[in-house]
Amino acid sequence: MEAFPHKYEVTASSASGGNITLTTEGVAPLLSAAPAQFDGPGDQWSPEDLLVAAVADCFILTFRAIAKFSKLDWTSLECSATGTLDKEGRKTCFTAFEINAKLEVPEGTDIEKAHELLEKSEESCLVTNSLNAAVTLNAEVTVK
């Protein structure tokens, strides 16, 4: 891992109407538009979708690192996230995120340890730690 601080640069570009193109070095461009709730087309990723996706993505990446360090064997992790956008006074902002994690582990795995590592992942996620919103984790561990 590189020493901190890390910098991430993304460029957004658009004509006066239509999609926004998001680019960063070494990655395919991504199209974005306003969500249907803000009169957008509803058929592209929106900034709101991308933020909630970042929560789910970061949770899984954090769990991978913590599970590896803790030597926890696991089979799969599915994570869905829901962000609640609301008004706080005159500001529109995300006020809450709910993370639903379904972890599959091999037979013989310490289920309690798996739950603890899921909780630690929620506490350690750099994306949710960077946001000013409540985060709720609903974790389920099943043996496969």
Confidence band (pLDDT; 50, 70, 90) for 99?
Answer: very high
Q: With contact defined as beta carbons under 8 Å apart, do 137 and 119 qualify?
A: yes
For residues 99 and 134, membership in a common domain is answered with: yes
For residues 81 and 123, membership in a common domain is answered with: yes
> In this predicted structure, what is the pLDDT of residue 97?
98
For residues 80 and 137, membership in a common domain is answered with: yes
Q: What is the CATH number of the domain that holds 64?
A: 3.30.300.20
> In this predicted structure, what is the pLDDT of residue 1?
86
CA distance 17 to 42: 15
For residues 72 and 107, membership in a common domain is answered with: yes
Q: Spell out where the chain has E strands.
A: 11-13, 20-24, 27-32, 76-88, 91-105, 134-143
> Is pLDDT above 90 for 107?
yes
Measured in residues, the chain has a length of 144
CA angle 108, 114, 117 (to 5 degrees): 155
For residues 53 and 108, membership in a common domain is answered with: yes
The total domain count for the chain is: 2
- Write the pLDDT tens digit of every residue in 2-18: 999 999 999 999 999 89
Mean of per-residue pLDDT scores for the chain: 97
Please give the average per-residue pLDDT across 44-63, as a whole number.
98
For residues 70 and 92, membership in a common domain is answered with: yes
Q: With contact defined as beta carbons under 8 Å apart, do 10 and 24 qualify?
A: yes
- Write the pLDDT tens digit of every residue in 111-141: 999 999 999 999 999 999 999 999 999 999 9
CA distance 91 to 14: 25
For residues 85 and 63, membership in a common domain is answered with: yes
> In this predicted structure, what is the pLDDT of residue 66?
98
Q: What is the CATH number of the domain that holds 34?
A: 2.20.25
Phi, psi of 95 (to 5 degrees): -105, -15
- Name the residue range of residue 36's domain: 1-45
For residues 68 and 85, membership in a common domain is answered with: yes
For residues 11 and 52, membership in a common domain is answered with: no
CA distance 127 to 52: 10
For residues 53 and 122, membership in a common domain is answered with: yes
pTM of this prediction?
Answer: 0.95
For residues 13 and 38, membership in a common domain is answered with: yes
Helix (H) or strand (E) holding 114: helix 111-124
CA distance 45 to 50: 7
For residues 16 and 79, membership in a common domain is answered with: no
